[in-house]
Structure 1
Amino acid sequence: MHKFMAFGDVHADFETLWAALRAASCVDGSYLPTAPVQSGLFQVVIIGDLVHPKSERDYTRLTGQQDFDTHNPEHLLLAARRQAAQLERLRTYQAAAPHAVHILLGNHDDAVLNGSYILGTSGGLVHLEFDPGHGGVLLPEHLRTWMGGFPRELRVGAVQFAHVSPLPAHTHYDDLFYGDRSTKHWFRDTPEYVAMSGLEFGVYGHTQIEDGILLDGVHRFAMIDALHAREYLELMIDESGAAALQAVRAVPF
């Protein structure tokens, strides 16, 4: 039996991610994996979207610029540098226990790597810090290589971890993905997708859950984009890859 700790979309809030990892006894004071992670007894899953703060307030907190301007190259450079420094720290953390630290590719990570889409929010915020064509800078090549190796899902027996949903189409961040309403609504409109995919349990992010992690015991999945609510998911998976559903819980920190 292994304990899996799954952490929702980061969106450059690394301070909260590290706090969650500390609360889960997964990281030590030097930002390295603890003994249970090193041994593989604890498995860490980060569900994707490491980059791009969610709001102007979050950009301000990241950079210290009170009036953060998404079109000011100096502000963008500072935002890029601050994120790159934390990505470097996370890369070192994963490299110390690659068998037990799993990071999935989110659509924001993919956008930074491929530059095909300018992502933003409904409030008009755009994420340009890693876009040289709009005043930003490229992520350093070694970090691009590292992120480019992130898988789009993790399967442990009949348990799936993925950024968006159980649908294979939702792992490819293309025009169809961004034009598809179901990427944000499937878990309410068609939650039976999990069972139809032959899964015993699924863990997903991408859609922020305001009140904390959403656990759907009937349809056997969790929506965990809830670091802002200071919650992560803990579940037990046995050697056969079956989840002990009675041991799935949202953990506050």
Structure 2
Amino acid sequence: MHKFICIGDVHADFPTMWEALRAASCIDAQGLATPPVQSGAYQVILIGDLVHPKSAQAYTRLTGLRPFDSGDQEHLLIAAREQIKELEKLCTYQRSAPHAIHILLGNHDDNILNPHLILGTSGGIKHVEFDPRRGGVHLPAHLREWMQTFPRDIRIGTLQFTHVSPLPGHQHYDDLFYSDRSPKRWFRDTPEYVDMAGLSFGVYGHTQVDDGILIHRDEQDRPRFAVIDALHTRQYLELIHDEGQQSSLRGIQAVPF
């Protein structure tokens, strides 16, 4: 039996991510895995998008610069530096229990590994702090190698964790991904994708939903999937998976902290 602690898109809000991990008893005072995580009884899932603050205000919180200007190279260097410091800490944490701390590759993480497109906020800030062609810096080689190990999909039986949706095409962040509306709308327009994929339950991020974590239920009131891009509402998802039971999933809930 395992308890899964699932945390939504971080987007450089590392202080809140650390608070969630502390609230879930998954990280100790030294920034390492707690005994339940080390033993594997607790499984931590970060759903991806570690980098790139979502708004001008979030960039200001990260850098202390008001206003933050993505056209100013010094501002970009500070934004990169602050994220690199936190990624170093997260790398150390993950490596303290790699069998139980799992980080999925989100589209923003993929973008700094393969910066072929310019992503940005709705307010016009460009996420180019890790793009040297546009005034940013390279992600340090050891962090790049670490992020290249992030899986796009984790499956335990018929339980799935991935950044966007059950569709395999949504795991590849190419030009088509960004021109397609379905990655942001599938859970409202075509929730049957989960059944079509033969899943008992799926955990996804990528899109913020009003009021925090969305737990979708079918017509029989069975939980089918959760959309958990809700760190900004101070929630994480918790579920218990027991391979020895006929009904292997239970305790599915959004946990405030």
- 1:121: Cα distance to partner? 2.3
In structure 2, the gaps of 5 or more residues are none
Aligned residue in 1 for 2:212: 212
Q: How far is the alpha carbon of 1:243 from its aligned partner?
A: 6.6
CA distance in 1: counterparts of 2:137 and 2:116, whole angstroms:
15
Distance 1:241 1:135, change over 3 A: farther
Cα deviation, residue 242, structure 1: 7.4
Residue 241 of structure 2 aligns to which amino acid in structure 1? I
Deviation at 1:57, TM superposition (A): 0.5
* Change in CA separation of 1:242 and 1:123 when aligned onto 2, cut-off 3 Å: farther
Letter in 1 for 2:12: A
Deviation, 1:245, is 4.3
- Residue 165 of structure 2 contacts residue 183 of structure 2 at CA under 8 Å; is this kept in 1? yes
Q: How does 1:8-47 map to 2 (within 5 A)?
A: 8-47=8-47
Q: Which residue of 2 aligns with 1:83?
A: 83
Residue type of the partner of 2:36?
P
More displaced 10-residue stretch of structure 1: 197-206 or 67-76: 67-76
Secondary structure of 2:236's partner? strand
Matched ranges for 1:159-170 at <5 A: 159-170=159-170
> What letter is aligned with 1:226?
A
Tell whether 2:5 aligns with 1:5: yes
Q: Cα gap change, 1:244/1:21 in structure 2, threshold over 3 Å: closer, same or farther? A: same
Partner of 2:95: 95
CA distance, structure 1, for counterparts of residue 57 and residue 248 of structure 2: 39
Q: Which residue of 1 aligns with 2:226?
A: 222
Structure-2 residue corresponding to 1:252:
256
SS class of match (2:127): coil
2:189 corresponds to which residue? 189
Q: Work out whether residues 201 and 243 of structure 1, in 8 Å CA contact, stay in contact via their aligned partners in 2.
A: no
CA RMSD of aligned residues (A): 1.3
1:238 aligns with 2:230: no
- Structure 1, 242-251 or 78-87: larger mean CA deviation: 242-251
Distance apart, 1:96 and its partner CA: 0.6
Q: Which amino acid aligns with 1:225?
A: D
Residues 251 and 243 of structure 1: is their aligned pair in 2 closer, same or farther, counting only changes over 3 Å?
A: farther
Is 1:200–2:200 an aligned residue pair?
yes
Shift of 1:125: 1.9
Task: Name the residue aligned to 1:128.
Answer: 128
Query: Shift in Å at residue 246 of structure 1?
Result: 4.0
1:112 to 1:240, Cα distance in 2 relative to 1, 3 A: farther
Identity of aligned residues (%): 66
Instruction: Structure 1 unaligned segments of length 5 or more: list them.
Output: none
In structure 1, how many angstroms separate the alpha carbons of the residues matched to 2:144 and 2:177?
Answer: 22
Counterpart CA distance in 2 for 1:240 and 1:123 is 49
The 10-residue stretch of structure 1 (71-80 or 236-245) with the greater mean CA deviation from structure 2? 236-245
The size of the alignment, in residue pairs, is: 253
Partner Cα separation in structure 2 for residue 206 and residue 250 of structure 1: 17
Q: Which whole-Å CA distance do the structure 1 matches of 2:85 and 2:229 have between them?
A: 23
CA contact 2:242–2:249 (8 Å) conserved in 1: no
Q: Give the letter aligned to residue 220 of structure 1.
A: R
Deviation of the 1:66 alpha carbon: 1.6
Alpha-carbon distance in structure 1 between the residues aligned to 2:129 and 2:246: 41
Question: 1:159-218 CA deviation, whole Å, 9 max, x = no partner?
Answer: 000000000000000011111100000000000000000000000000012311000121
Quickly say closer, same or farther: Cα 1:37–1:246, change in 2 above 3 A. Answer: closer
Which SS does the other structure have where 2:205 is aligned? strand
Contact map agreement 2:56 2:123 (CA 8 A) in 1? no
Tell me whether 213-222 or 89-98 shows the greater mean CA deviation: 213-222
CA distance in structure 1 between the aligned counterparts of 2:41 and 2:174, rounded to whole angstroms: 36
Shift of 1:67: 1.5
